[in-house]
Homo-oligomer: A and B are copies of this chain.
């Protein structure tokens, strides 16, 4: 995610229950008393269990898994992943674990790196809106690799995923926004804890060992916002997955560490953030769930242009529009959509991800705005340019970030309008299961044969019933 997108998402986070300003005000709670923070978290991680979850929470975790696997398959042949495998294959251990979308088998650690990178490289993975953490990446990448090495049931796998996500998002809540504002890419810094927690459960760590695993995770944060727009951004969740696994495996041998890794004087929170609200970590563990608030991006582009895309796709579908019919597309958008996603004539796929004009054009032409619609080829195609050049957009400060108004003027004189109140993909208007499936299959297209992609999707849906969750990773290899 580019830093333009980051600001956009911060703004968009208002969707989760108020304006950006209100959220920041809520977050301004400072330094609650630190009593056994790390120990209480460790205790919960190793002693809680799937019986304490609700069907709705488990369903959301399944959706998180499905969305993440699709992203990992989709990004598996990106340049960043190709280069990483080329650089690190000579050092890989035994072929213990699969890589989604690829034939190589790697040791658990390197497979976790590859899958974690693949899943983030399109900036298309899940988002915990309050902290802008992309929660699944570090946790799921560690887990799927581990599950092939140390077989576990799908039920325990799903709960470990949930606990890992809960751990990282709660730690994120405790330090957001100061920690993020300071320069950290919060997905990589909190992700290490999530991966360690999930892996620690699978390895059956004791509370004491889990404490040490959190300590080992604390000394290995990954990721700076300075790297946004470069391949290194996708490295962050992958490396975080590896680091969390390493922490859990070392702790399983009784390798020790501080027992106040989070709250200690020279611990993680004091060193990496000027805000520390420890109650966010320890209050209502197992009762309220951040993992239930996960969201999925319908479009792999700046989030403030999502409502405009949503509007144009709906108009196209409702009226069976063809590009040749279009005279002009007029958008009214939140000011941030122009400020952050206002590139009028994008020259590449990377630029088009921040062009509301491009987003509206492909929405009208293709009825979708997936990774392919942001490829260099489509961006430079004359048919795309023709429509894109006929899109105008004006800022309207009466609109919220999640809102947009689109007017399509047809050559036959008709005028079609659509107002989007809550863009698709927000907490109030989540992607449906069918949309997640379409996104999954679109991402897998060209990487896995369709039959294989559908079987993989099916395994994700029924993860809770799988005797061996390692089969998901196996089924996702090319």
- Inter-chain CA distance A188–B225, complex, in Å, is 20
Asked if residues A227 and B258 are in contact (CB atoms below 8 Å), the reply is yes
Q: Is the Cβ of A231 less than 8 Å from the Cβ of B256?
A: yes
B93 and A107 contacting across the interface, CB-CB below 8 Å: yes
Pairwise interchain contact A250-B83, C-beta atoms closer than 8 A: yes
Evaluate contact between B219 and A231: CB separation under 8 angstroms.
Answer: no
The interface stretch among A64-72, A259-267, A308-316, A453-461 is: A259-267
A226 at the A/B interface (Cβ < 8 Å)? yes
**Contact yes or no, A230 B253, CB < 8 A:** no
A435 at the interface (CB under 8 A from B): no
| B224 and A267 form a contact (CB under 8 A) | yes
A188 and B255 CA atoms in complex are apart in Å by 18
Q: Is the CB of B184 within 8 A of A271?
A: yes
Shortest Cβ gap from A88 to chain B (Å): 7
Please tell me how many copies of the chain the complex holds.
Answer: 2
In the complex, what residues of B have CB within 8 A of residue A232's CB?
Answer: 212, 215-216, 219, 255-258
Contact of A80 with B255 in the complex, beta carbons under 8 Å: yes
Binary contact readout A202-231 vs B (1 if CB under 8 angstroms, 0 otherwise): 000000000010011011111111111011
Looking at A216, A250, A257, A266, the one whose CB has the most chain B CB atoms below 10 A away is A266
Complex CA gap A103/B184 in Å reads 40
Q: Whole-angstrom distance from the CB of A49 to the nearest CB of chain B?
A: 25
> A86 near B: Cβ within 8 Å?
yes
> For the complex, is A254 an interface residue (Cβ under 8 Å from B)?
yes
In the complex, chain B residues whose CB is within 8 Å of the CB of A252? 87
What's the Cα separation between A108 and B227 when bound, in Å?
26
Taking A235-B216, A253-B83 as contacts, is the C-beta distance between A91 and B93 under 8 angstroms? yes
CA distance A223 to B221 in the complex (A): 9
B residues near A188, Cβ cutoff 8 Å = 219
Cβ of A122 < 8 Å from any Cβ of B? no
Would you call A355 an interface residue if the criterion is a C-beta within 8 Å of the partner chain's C-beta atoms? no
Report chain B residues within 8 Å CB of A258.
224, 226-227, 230, 232
In chain A between 38 and 90, which residues have their CB closer than 8 angstroms to a CB of chain B? 80, 83-84, 86-88, 90
In the bound complex, CA of A223 to CA of B215 (Å): 10
C-alpha gap A94/B94 in the complex (Å): 9
A254-297 CB contacts (< 8 Å) to partner B: 254-258, 260-261, 264-268, 270-271
A219 & B223 in contact (Cβ 8 Å cutoff) = yes
Whether A219 pairs with B219 at a CB distance below 8 angstroms is no
Nearest to A263 among chain B residues (CB) is B226
**A183 pairs with B230, CB closer than 8 A:** no
Tell me if A271 and B224 are in contact (CB < 8 A).
Answer: yes
A267: B residues at CB distance < 8 A: 183, 224, 226
A392 at the B interface (CB under 8 A):
no
Q: Contacts A239-B220, A257-B231 known; A226 to B265 CB distance under 8 Å? A: yes
CA distance A188 to B221 in the complex (A): 12
Q: Does A236 contact B (CB under 8 A)?
A: yes
**Interchain CB contact under 8 A, A235 and B249:** no
Task: Kindly supply a per-residue 1/0 record for chain A positions 1-41, scoring 1 wherever the CB is within 8 Å of any chain B CB and 0 otherwise.
Answer: 00100000000000000000000000000000000000000
Provide the bound-state CA to CA distance between A272 and B230, in Å.
20
Q: Chain B residues near A91 (CB, 8 Å)?
A: 93-94, 96, 107-109
- Complex Cα distance, B216 from A239, in Å, reads 11
Residues of A at under 8 Å CB distance from B?
Answer: 3, 80, 83-84, 86-88, 90-94, 96, 107-109, 182-185, 188, 212, 215-216, 218-228, 230-232, 235-236, 239, 246, 249-250, 252-258, 260-261, 264-268, 270-271
A-B contact pairs, 6 of them (CB 8 A): A84-B250, A88-B249, A226-B265, A226-B268, A230-B257, A235-B255
Given A3-B266, A88-B246, A215-B232, 20 more A-B residue pairs with CB atoms under 8 Å apart are A84-B253, A84-B255, A87-B249, A88-B249, A90-B96, A91-B96, A183-B271, A188-B219, A216-B235, A218-B226, A219-B235, A219-B236, A224-B266, A226-B258, A226-B260, A226-B266, A226-B268, A230-B258, A231-B257, A235-B250
